[in-house]
Amino acid sequence: MPTFRPCMMGSAVPAARARLDLLDPFEVSKLGGIEVVTDGVVEGFLTGLHRSPRRGFSVEFAEHRMYQPGDELRYLDWKMVGRSDRLYVKQFEEETNLRAMLVCDASRSMAWTGDPQTTLPKLDYVRRLLAALALVLLRQRDATGLITFDDAVRTIVPPRARLAHWRQLVGTLVALEPGQGTAAEPALRRVVGQLRRRGLVVFVSDLLFDRELALTALRFLRHRGHQVLVLHIMDQAEVTLAGPAEARFEDPESRAAVVLRPRDWAGAYRDTVHTVIAEWRLACRRHGIAYHRVTTDTPFGTVLRAALAAGRRAG
């Protein structure tokens, strides 16, 4: 993984040239506010896509539409301009008719990080990830909305396709504070009222709740024809049990605590974590739900690619 070092004034390599979507999220977060950083991440991500053999988001031409301010000039159809003296852009199959809902877990456990000096808290990582994903979708003119929840549904931002809608989504994410418990099932049920036709649902959570209840709601969304993507957010410190000779571990939501020796329990803990991940992956695959485990040191671009692939299948 490339390492990003902030440029000093007078440096020969300006920060703008860095592919922020490929860099360590913690280092990227130091570069500015969420809007500035997200815009840089998305620009890097789109640059990478446009340099790929697929040339961007799509390969199948669908139709023309009138040029609108903000459209990329390289998609102008100059033959149509010559024939009609009007500006038309090419619209591709994956750019049409997609509606997406982002469902964000803001429970107390999402505020956790294993090392505040090197790793973003899970919720801070998710804020930036969802802001970037929303911007990518909106630039494709895909209507995008947001639902946040902890032990209840906190906010619902209906899907809109206007690029200006992004600031409302970002404002909601920035204002989001970690709550207490987790009630994923009611939040997923609320998606139905926001997506009247087939679309994309991106469910982002650390999945520390009753799996069967959430899976029931996820299966219902698949039954309605939606493409569903589950992003299982984990801190790298949650994957393995480490610490001093004796340590006190506390559940941030229930406040239940236990004192133990990490070395004695490391093997059992690792096996339990791997079992839980495997069970989630298998349950999702069985019902046609895309599942990706994402640690908070994963570059944003890697996760955006997975989400974009799910969006293509939904479009």
pLDDT score, position 70: 60
Q: How many CB atoms lie within 10 A of CB 64?
A: 15
Distance CA 168, CA 1 (A): 33
Beta-bridged to residue 148, according to DSSP, are 104, 155
Residue 10 domain flag? no
Distance CA 258, CA 269 (A): 14
pLDDT score, position 306: 87
pLDDT score, position 167: 96
Rg over CA atoms, the chain: 21
Distance CA 167, CA 107 (A): 23
Distance CA 211, CA 2 (A): 36
Extract the tokens encoding 4: 């990003």
Question: Which secondary-structure segment (H or E) carries 37?
Answer: helix 34-50
Residue 197 domain flag? yes
Structural domain total, the chain:
1
Confirm if 107 and 207 have CB atoms less than 8 A apart.
no
pLDDT digits (tens, 9 = 90+) for 158-193: 999 999 999 999 999 999 999 988 889 999 999 999
Residue 49 domain flag? no
pLDDT digits (tens, 9 = 90+) for 78-87: 776 777 777 7
Distances (CA, A) of 279 to 161, 176, 248, 274, 288: 36, 30, 28, 9, 14
CATH code of the domain containing 198: 3.40.50.410
Residue 253 domain flag? yes
* Domain span at 229: 97-314
The segments of the chain whose pLDDT lies below 70 read 1-17, 50-76, 80, 88-97, 311-315
pLDDT score, position 180: 85
Residue 58 domain flag? no
Residue 84 domain flag? no
pLDDT score, position 56: 35
3-state SS string for 168-187? HHHHHHHHCCCCCCCCHHHH
Residue 236 domain flag? yes
Q: In the chain, where do the E strands start and end? A: 61-66, 88-92, 99-105, 143-149, 153-160, 200-205, 227-234, 247-250, 257-260, 290-295
Confirm if 290 and 230 have CB atoms less than 8 A apart.
yes
pLDDT score, position 13: 33
pLDDT score, position 215: 96
Extract the tokens encoding 40: 């840089």
Distance CA 143, CA 315 (A): 12
Residue 225 domain flag? yes
Q: How far apart are the first and last CA of the chain?
A: 32
Closest CA to 124 of 4, 6, 25, 231: 25
